[in-house]
Amino acid sequence: MEATREIFWHIPLLVQIALYLVSIIAIALIGYSVYRRYQMWTLGRPDKRFDKPGWRIGEFIRLSILDGALHARFLREPYPGIMHFLIFIGCILLFIGAGLDFLNHYVFEPFHAAFIQGPVYIYLGGLWNIAGVMVLIGLLMAFLRRYIQKPKRLNTVLDDGVALFLIFIVVISGFFLQGFRMIAAMPDALGLSQPEYYVHPEWGQARFGGFWIAGLFAGLPEATRYLWYQILWYGHVIITVGAVFYVIVAWDKLTHILISPVNVLFKTSRPKGALSMVDLENAETYGIGKIEDFTWKQLFDLDACTNCGRCQDRCPAYLTDKPLSPRQLIQDLKTHWVERSPELLAEKKVKAKAAKAGGEAAPSAAEETSGSVKAMVGEVITEDVIWACTTCRACQDICPVFVEHIDKIIDMRRHLVLDLAQVPETGLAVLQCIEARGHSCKGTTLTRTDWTAGLDIKQLSEDPDVEYVFFAGCAASLEERSTKIAIAVARILKAAGVSFGILGAQEMCCGEPARRLGNEYLYQTLAANNVEQFKGYNIKKIITMCPHCFNTLKNEYPQLGGNFEVIHHSTFISQLIDDGKIKPAVMKENRITYHDSCYLGRHNDIYKPQRHVLQTINKLPLLEMERSGNKGFCCGAGGGRFWMEERIGKRISETRIEQVIETGADTVASACPYCLQMFTDAIKAKGAEETLIAKDIAELVAESMELK
C-alpha cells in the first residue's frame, strides 16, 4: 500500500501541474473569446445603457433573485421551469462547493483545518449531494423533453446532447469520487489513520450519494480503493476541464450562460410600452437596414438569446401560421451577424488605421463584396416577417433574459418606410389618412364631435376650466361602433360628477399607428403638435379609452417633453366605484369573460381594475380564458395590423374568439376599441352572433346604471 501511495505521489504531481496549466489556458481562451465577442458587439452603434446605475444595479439584484434564483419567468411553464430550476440551482451549488474546496486546499490553508472537519463539513457535503441529485433529475427531465416529448419550439442539435452528457458525467464522477474518498485512507487530508467511512460513518451519511457508493466498494483491497480514488480524481478533473473547453468550442451554443445575466443589467430603462426615439435631425438613417446599423445592445441581445423558444410559444403571429417566429428572428439575425462580422471587423480596422494616418481608407473587402451579401431586410429577414408582428409584447414578457424583439422589428419597419418608402398598400393608406386628415379612420363620414350630440360636453376651446380632458381617440370618435363606448364613458363621468371636457375638432391622432407602422417622422410631428396643444390648454390630467392612446400619451410623450397624468377609462371607472361616486347595479347572471388588451396588460401591467369592475356588476364569477393576464392572446390589431389585411395564415382575432367560445361565455368584455371591432368581425365570421356578443366595460357599466 505504501509503495502504491509513493508511486501516486510523484507521478500525479506532474499530472496535477499539467491539469492546472490546461485549466488556466482554458480560462484564458474563454477570456479571449469574450474579447473577440466584445469586438463584434462594438460593430453596433452607441446606446445609452449605462444610465441610471443605481436603478440598473437594483433591477439586476431584484431580477437575479426573482427570475434567476427563484425562476419566476421559467416557472410560468411548470415542466420546463422545474427542469431548468433543478439544473441551474444544482450546478450553482456544486460550483460553489468546488470553489470552496479549492480555496480551502490551496488558498486559505489556516482555514482549511477548521473547515474540513466538524458539522460544517458534514452539512455542506449533504447539501452538495442534494445539489447533485437535483442536477441529475433535471437532466433526466431535459432528456425526456428533448428526445421523447420533442416540443416543436426546441431545435435540438448535437451540441444539446453533448452538453447534457458532459454535465451528467461530471456529476456522476463527482459522486463516485466522493464515495472512494471515504474508503481511501488519506491522513494528509483528514488527520485519520483509517478511511473516514470506517472511523466516522456519521460524517458520510449526510453525504448520502457518496456514502452509498462507498458501501458498494468498501470491500475492495485498500490499495485498489486508493488507486481508484486517484483515477477518479484525475478523471473528474479532466472531464470538467474538457467541459470548459467544450464551452469554448461550442461558443455560439452556450454563450448565453455568460452573456444572459449581463443582458439583464443592460435592459432598457424606458417604460415597457415605449419605443426607442430617433433623432430625426442628426440620424444618418431612420431605421435599421444593415446588421451594423443596430446598436451594440441590440447585437448583445443576439448572444444573450437562449434559443429556448418560449417567445415562439406565446407569439400570436406564429401560432396562427404567420412567417414570424420571435426565436427564429433573433437566431437568423445572429447567424447573419456572425457571418458578416469578420469582414466588418476588418473594414473597421482599415478605417481606423486610415483615420489615424490622416488619410482615406481604400475600399475594404467587405465594401467590395457588399453587392453579393444578402440584404438583412428583405432576404435574411423577409418583409412578411417584419409586418406580421402585432407588437403585443408576449415575446418580451416571457423571455427569461430580456431580449428586446419589438425594437428590432420596428427599427426594420422604419427602414422600409422612411429609407426605402416600402409600405404594404393598406398600411400606406392609413398613413396617408393620418397625414392628410389627422386621424386613422379612412372613409369615415363622422366628425370628431358627432358622438357628443345631446350629451352637453364641454369643449376646451369654449371652456378650458376642467379637471380632466377626455381624449376619446380616433376610433371612438369616428368609427360608428366605437362611438358607443365614448358615449358610455361620457355618461358615466357625468353621472359621477367628474369635471371633464374634450378637445373636439381640435383633437388629433396621438400618432401611435404611425409609429408602430414605422413612420417615426409622422409620429413625432403629430406628438409634438399634441404636446404643444396640451400645454397651451394647461392640461394636467387625461382620461383615455384606447389603450394605444393611453400607452403613447403616458409612456412615449415624455420623450418629447409631454409629461401628463394619464389614466385609462377602465381604471378610472374602477376608482369611481371604490370611491362610491357611481353605484352600478348587479346585472343579470351573465357569463362574462374578459380579454386583456396587450397595451393595457403586458405593456402597462394593468390587469386588476377591469376584473374588479366586471365582478362588481355581475353575479356570476368571471370566466377566465386559459390565455389571460400576462399570458393573454392578442386580438390581432396591434402594431398597425388593425388596418392591414391578414392574408397569411389564420386570422388572429378568430383564434381568440375560439378561445372565448371555449369558456362558454355569452359576453366577451374588452377595454379597447380595436379589440372590440376585431371581435365584432370575428364573431360574425364564426357565425356566433346569436350566442356571443362583444362589449366594452364602459358599456356594461352604463347598462347596469341604466344610463340611457
CB 673 within 8 A of CB 595: no
- Say yes or no to pLDDT of 4 above 70: no
For 111-130, the pLDDT digits (tens) are 555 555 556 666 777 888 99
Q: What are phi and psi of 694, to 5 degrees?
A: -105, 130
DSSP codes joined into one string, 496-546 = TT--EEE-GGG----SHHHHHTT-HHHHHHHHHHHHHHHHHTT--EEEESS
Q: Say yes or no: 539 and 412 in one domain.
A: no
3-state helix, strand, coil in the chain (%, to 5): 60, 5, 35
pLDDT at 196: 67
Q: Which of 47, 590, 32, 21 has the alpha carbon at shortest distance from 267?
A: 47
Q: How many CA atoms lie within 13 A of 195 on its CB side?
A: 24
Flag whether 630 is in a domain: yes
In degrees to the nearest 10, what's the CA dihedral of 19, 24, 25, 31? Answer: 150
C-alpha span between 340 and 298 (Å, rounded): 16
Residue 202 sits at the vertex; the CA angle it makes with 197 and 205, to the nearest 5 degrees, is 80
**Mean of all residue pLDDT scores within the chain:** 88
Q: Which three cell numbers stand for residue 456?
A: 352637453
Using H for helix, E for strand and C for coil, what is the string for 49-110? CCCCHHHHHHHHHHHHHHHHHCCCCHHHCHHHHHHHHHHHHHHHHHHHHHHHHHHHHHCCHH
Least confident range of 44-48, 121-125, 263-267, 313-317: 121-125
pLDDT at 361: 54
Q: Say yes or no: 645 and 672 in one domain.
A: yes
Q: Which of 227, 207, 224, 201 has the alpha carbon at shortest distance from 133?
A: 207
For 635-686, the pLDDT digits (tens) are 999 999 999 988 999 999 999 999 999 999 999 999 999 999 999 999 999 9
Q: Say yes or no: 396 and 528 in one domain.
A: no
Q: Which of 587, 586, 612, 590 has the alpha carbon at shortest distance from 671?
A: 612
Flag whether 387 is in a domain: yes
Flag whether 582 is in a domain: yes
Confidence of residue 362 (pLDDT cuts 50, 70, 90): low
Full residue range of the structural domain in which residue 349 is found? 291-425
Q: Say yes or no: 359 and 445 in one domain.
A: no
Burial 431-447 (b: 16+ CB within 10 A, else e): bebbeeebbbbeebeee
pLDDT at 284: 80
CB 187 within 8 A of CB 222: no
Q: Where a domain ends, among 397, 425, 453? A: 425
For 396-413, the pLDDT digits (tens) are 999 999 999 999 999 999
Q: Say yes or no: 440 and 344 in one domain.
A: no
More confident residue, 483 or 69: 483
Q: Say yes or no: 385 and 442 in one domain.
A: no
Cβ of 183: how many Cβ atoms within 10 Å? 27
Q: Say yes or no: 364 and 450 in one domain.
A: no
For 218-271, the pLDDT digits (tens) are 888 888 888 888 888 888 888 887 777 776 666 555 677 778 889 999 999 999
For 476-528, the pLDDT digits (tens) are 999 999 999 999 999 999 999 999 999 999 999 999 999 999 999 999 999 99
- Say yes or no to pLDDT of 3 above 50: no
Residue 244 to residues 248, 249, 297, 306, 371: CA-CA distances in angstroms?
A: 7, 9, 26, 18, 40
Q: Say yes or no: 474 and 603 in one domain.
A: yes
C-alpha span between 283 and 334 (Å, rounded): 24
Q: How many domains does the chain have?
A: 2
Flag whether 353 is in a domain: yes
Q: Where a domain ends, among 374, 402, 425? A: 425
* 233 contact partners, CB below 8 Å, separation of at least 6: 177
Confidence of residue 417 (pLDDT cuts 50, 70, 90): very high
Q: Which of 590, 584, 597, 516 has the alpha carbon at shortest distance from 556?
A: 516
Flag whether 138 is in a domain: no
Residues in the chain: 708
233: helix, coil or strand?
A: helix
Which of 175-179, 212-216, 283-287, 508-512 is predicted most confidently?
508-512
Q: Where a domain ends, among 402, 425, 448? A: 425
C-alpha span between 112 and 238 (Å, rounded): 24
Q: What sign has the CA pseudo-torsion 12, 14, 17, 19?
A: negative
Using H for helix, E for strand and C for coil, what is the string for 173-227? HHHHHHHHHHHCCCHHHHCCCCCHHHHCHHHHHHCHHHHHHHHHHCCCCHHHHHH
pLDDT at 104: 62
Task: Please classify residue 13 by burial: count the beta carbons closer than 10 Å to its beta carbon, then call 0-12 exposed, 13-18 middle and 19+ buried.
Answer: exposed
Q: Say yes or no: 524 and 403 in one domain.
A: no
pLDDT at 252: 58
For 182-198, the pLDDT digits (tens) are 888 654 444 445 676 66
Phi-psi region of 396 (alpha: psi -120 to 50; beta: other; left: phi over 0): alpha
Q: Say yes or no: 569 and 614 in one domain.
A: yes
Flag whether 115 is in a domain: no
Residue 261 to residues 80, 224, 397, 540: CA-CA distances in angstroms?
A: 19, 45, 17, 40
Cβ of 377: how many Cβ atoms within 10 Å? 24
C-alpha span between 592 and 628 (Å, rounded): 13
* 564 contact partners, CB below 8 Å, separation of at least 6: 534, 539, 540, 541, 542, 553, 554, 557
Least confident range of 12-26, 70-84, 311-325: 12-26
- Say yes or no to pLDDT of 154 above 80: yes
C-alpha span between 437 and 155 (Å, rounded): 48
Flag whether 5 is in a domain: no
**Residue 553 carries which DSSP code?**
I
Q: What are phi and psi of 567, to 5 degrees?
A: -135, 140
Residue 345: CATH number of its domain: 1.10.1060
pLDDT at 342: 94
Q: Say yes or no: 560 and 441 in one domain.
A: yes
pLDDT at 1: 43
For 566-597, the pLDDT digits (tens) are 999 999 999 999 999 999 887 778 899 999 99
Q: Say yes or no: 507 and 636 in one domain.
A: yes
C-alpha span between 12 and 14 (Å, rounded): 5
Strand order in the sheet with 592-594: 592-594, 667-670, 693-696
Flag whether 186 is in a domain: no
**Percent of the chain at pLDDT above 70?**
88
CB 570 within 8 A of CB 610: yes
For 433-458, the pLDDT digits (tens) are 999 999 999 888 899 999 999 999 99
* 499 contact partners, CB below 8 Å, separation of at least 6: 466, 467, 468
